[in-house]
Amino acid sequence: MSQTMREMEPSQRPRERLLASGPTVLSDAELIAVLLRSGRRGHGVVDEAHRLLHDAGGLIHVARMDARELTSRRGLGPAKAATLVAAIELGQRVLRDRLRDGRRLDAPDVAGEFLVMRLAPERREVFGLLSLDGRHRVIRVHDVTLGTRTQAPVDPAEVFRRALLDDAAGLVVYHNHPSGELEPSRDDLGLTRRLVDAGGVLGVPVLDHLIVAGGRWLSLRTVRPGLFAADNRPD
């Protein structure tokens, strides 16, 4: 039988530890336990949080669960499910606001972090773009295509139509791999080349193509810089 919150020493309770030392000292399970507040008879809340993480396959997969999936679990009623979904959504909105608070995207780190959170719930491929102003600050985020579990057909004309309507000076495109495989496919490389070429003609350069898989992301500009050169060719 697991230890309940009341049975823990006050200094070991997740909420008290958070208040005393900040949220970074807590594990994923302990942070979830703070949100859940209580377990069920014979099962402490931290143990329930560990079980949720284990059954889902990790935090990213918990983030993919909607309220209906969460409430189907024993011990997670509508109130607890709503709290978890709301907390995850707030995290996504914070990251979205970080993109809109004047941050430049000269490096892909901020965009990659945001896209991991944005695309974590998706079980189908999504292709989209971040339209940028002349200082590489985000103007708007567009999910252009929602595809299947293995592909999302992309029309370059629609990508640049969105960018031109935003009066974008450049763009970063992105898509996810629900399979969890981060390695770019031959199609990914070929599409990137076509978009870079089209952007050169239209005067809206494609600055990067980010691929998201689970909790990881990859910058094609970093690993395949030749794709973004004037005479680019896929490897």
Domains of the chain listed by start with CATH number: 10-93 (1.10.150), 105-228 (3.40.140.10)
The answer to whether residue 232 scores a pLDDT higher than 60 is: no
Phi, psi of 148 (to 5 degrees): -100, -170
Any idea which residue has 């399970």 for tokens?
Answer: 29
The answer to whether residue 98 scores a pLDDT higher than 80 is: no
- 8 compared with 232, residue with greater pLDDT: 8
Distance between CA atoms of 14 and 28, rounded to whole angstroms? 11
CB 184 within 8 A of CB 150: no
- pLDDT for position 90: 87
Residue 60 pLDDT grade (very low, low, confident, very high; cuts 50, 70, 90): confident
The answer to whether residue 135 scores a pLDDT higher than 90 is: no
Residue 31 pLDDT grade (very low, low, confident, very high; cuts 50, 70, 90): very high
Give pTM, 2 decimals.
0.68
Residue range 9-32: average pLDDT?
88
Sheet (strand 126-132) strand order: 138-146, 126-132, 170-176, 206-213, 216-219
Nearest CA among 27, 82, 62 for reference residue 214:
62
CB 111 within 8 A of CB 105: yes
- pLDDT for position 138: 86
The answer to whether residue 1 scores a pLDDT higher than 90 is: no
Least confident of 147-156, 209-218, 226-235: 226-235
Tens-place pLDDT, residues 177-216: 988 899 999 999 999 999 999 999 999 999 999 999 988 8
Least confident of 3-12, 56-65, 177-186, 200-209: 3-12
State the greatest distance between any 2 C-alpha atoms of the chain, in Å, as a whole number: 67
Residue range 60-87: average pLDDT?
89
The answer to whether residue 235 scores a pLDDT higher than 60 is: no
Amino acid type, 160: F
Can you name the residues that pair with 126 across neighbouring β-strands?
146
The answer to whether residue 9 scores a pLDDT higher than 80 is: no
Residue range 34-57: average pLDDT?
88
CB 202 within 8 A of CB 213: no
Bridging pattern class, strands 126-132 and 170-176: antiparallel
